[in-house]
Structure 1
Amino acid sequence: MITHVVFDFDGTLADSKEAAIKLYNELAEKNGYGLLTADNLAKMRELSIFDRCKQLGVAPYKLPWLVVQLTRNFRQAMQSIEFNEGIPELLKELRARGLKLMILSSNDEGNIRAFLRRHSAEEWVDEIYCSSSIFGKARLLRALMKRAGLTPDQLVYVGDEHRDVQACKEVGVRIIAVRWGVDADVRLREAGPNHIADRPAEIAECVSRWSTAA
């Protein structure tokens, strides 16, 4: 029986893509990296993280530093970032059904809590798990399940990247990938999630269908 829905934050819940691009480009200009532009963004969304780094001239060993810098700079940006359309209604519906909601993210917990407070949404989320490692979600999912005493069949994860799907497959958790986030549809399909959602309402429909099937 599904009892918990775990969400990625950036791109999935929060419409933070524009802020992330702006913050990345500010760092890129200072450090001599390639910029994200209207001309290359669509192609970048189809590439793996390491291929994006190659295209932008970012050495892979610089990725952890870049993530830390972007996360730090997100603190001010949180004042202007909104939920993706339909997400507040989705969260309220899932809560009304008695489901527990969690966030698992490579963003900073302080940033996420500031966002939730600004939107009067703190009470909607039961737990927040964060790691600065962009490839650490499988480990975080295992830690989440151990801490909450959950089995994989009790969770559904909702994310927007190829790496989210890989992490869920590694730990045996069903995943709904969303088309409105970071990775393009072709990247999501390559990863093979359990479902790809075009709109937030589909997430509630999936959870309901899978719960009934169980």
Structure 2
Amino acid sequence: MLTALRRAWLRRQLSDPSYAFLFDQESDELVSFDCETTSLNVKKAEILSIGAVKIRNNRILTSESFYVIVKPEGIMEASNVKIHGLRPKDVSNGIPVAEAIKQLLDFIGARPLVGYYLEYDIKVINKFLKPMIGIGLPNKAIEVSGIYYDQEIKTKRDGYVDLRMASIIETLQLPDLPRHDALNDAINVALMYLMLQARADKR
């Protein structure tokens, strides 16, 4: 009930009616998405790239993926390049953040979002989105680390669950695509989600 009320409130706050499709009926499809940014501090962070992939009928639709490089407004620090591999000359040909977010919204529609520490990615997107359309993303959010924790904690006597992505991937015995690439991370998360769903079905 609270979710329905919040969605109704957000719809009233929407300043651009062309984005009313974000409130369409939820699809059976999901979208796994990830952002690469210049900082883990949401207030300072600029988006460098966004990757997303659809999940349908327990299949990852890599043929229906989304990836954009974004041109940041500020100057990139060398330490950032070591993490995500995007150099200043790579992002210099990127698109403006507003255009990147418009394209992302067209891709995700009203589909629920899947992510790893998704709250951060949503907050970064919302920082730029709210001035554009008056609201943040209204989509349902599914956090894979939370699903993993709930499954693993039942088997841990010491109450500790390692939630690093590398550890989750190793435990689930999944292939590990090169990380800190927005699209690869989105695919990694989609794989994690499907494996966690399969484990839950077996229990």
> Do Structure 1 and Structure 2 share a fold, with TM-score over 0.5?
no
Relative to its length, the structure with more strand (as a share) is: 2
TM norm structure 2: 0.30
Normalised by the size of structure 1, how large is the TM-score? Answer: 0.29
